[in-house]
Amino acid sequence: MFENSEKYSALVDETLLSLVKKGREEYKELLDSMAYSVSAGGKRIRPMLTMAFCSLCSESPEKALYPACAVEFIHTYSLIHDDLPCMDNDDMRRGKPSNHIVFGEDTALLAGDALQSLAFEALTCEENIKNIGYEAAAKCVQTLSVLSGAKGMVGGQVVDLALEKCEGNVEIVTFMHSLKTAALIKSACVMGCICGGANEVQIKAAEEYAECIGLQFQIVDDILDVTSTTDVLGKPVNSDVENNKSNMVSLLGIEKCRALAKELTDKAIEALKAFEGETKALEDFALKLLNRNK
């Protein structure tokens, strides 16, 4: 996503696990459950966005390391809870058995809870305060807590569950995606800007970029759900069809969804003009998300 992004992705992975493994033998199963999902792979999209926007503001990506880890902890906890029988009831995640299949529903639930708390521990740890200062750390806590809670990701999950019981429309499905998917991506981009000392115009531009690629990402997900295979995606396909749940493809059709995803990608790229730094990597990233096959 930016120069040496593979190096920084490896640094994020290393830091995530080092934060998880701090604990006592008495609750080792909980730590193992947390580590299982944290190390289960994934694209690390959100932490890389945090570090990329920090870099775009002319600061070292390492300055945003702990906020990058924090947003990934929130994302990972949400996936553990999403897979539970009371939610999406999925047995597979990223080509591996879901957390509750390996560790049981009780431990999986608690692992998700613990990862959520760990996110805010990462934002307020001594190392992060040294990197970005108390004021920026507080702004990151505010950003992540709002956008991952009832006004963001969790609120979107509630709307998603409601759509299983009634027929949706484009407006409500878009609203759900804006909260469930785009809000957490927005927190990643905004925290990167905070770490990099961005101004308010640039933060608003980062929010626009995040909103657009978040909606685009989910539309492409809906397309792949009906055009791809379980082997390619690493999770069950046709889940919305089988559950008779509305999504963008069922409401608009594949071709209109592809056109909308392209329109959102163009808007995301346009938003990056608010930054003086080199934006090509983030432009290419938006295009990569648009053209992905898994």
Q: Where are the domains of the chain?
A: 5-290
Could you read off the pLDDT of 254-277 as tens digits, one per residue? 999 999 999 999 999 999 999 998
Q: What is the DSSP string of 219-272?
A: HHHHHHHHHS-HHHHSS-SSHHHHTT---HHHHH-HHHHHHHHHHHHHHHHHHG
Among the listed residues 226, 227, 225, 222, the one whose alpha carbon sits nearest the alpha carbon of residue 248: 222
Cα–Cα dist 244/236, whole Å: 15
Mean pLDDT of the chain: 92
Could you read off the pLDDT of 173-206 as tens digits, one per residue? 999 999 999 999 999 999 999 999 999 999 999 9
Q: In terms of CATH, what superfamily is 5-290?
A: Farnesyl Diphosphate Synthase (1.10.600.10)
Among the listed residues 176, 152, 171, the one whose alpha carbon sits nearest the alpha carbon of residue 240: 176
- Residue 46 buriedness (CB in 10 A; 0-12 / 13-18 / 19+): buried
Question: Whole-model pTM?
Answer: 0.93
Which tokens go with 109? 């639930």
Could you read off the pLDDT of 21-34 as tens digits, one per residue? 878 888 999 999 99
Q: How many CB atoms are located within 10 Å of the residue 264 CB?
A: 22
Spell out the residues 6+ positions from residue 138 whose beta carbon is closer than 8 angstroms to its own.
Answer: none
Whether residue 288 contacts residue 261, with contact meaning beta carbons closer than 8 Å, is answered with: no
Phi and psi at 251, nearest 5°, equal -90, -35
Map residue 92 onto helix, strand or coil: strand
Could you read off the pLDDT of 129-180 as tens digits, one per residue? 999 999 999 999 999 999 999 999 999 999 999 988 888 899 999 999 999 9
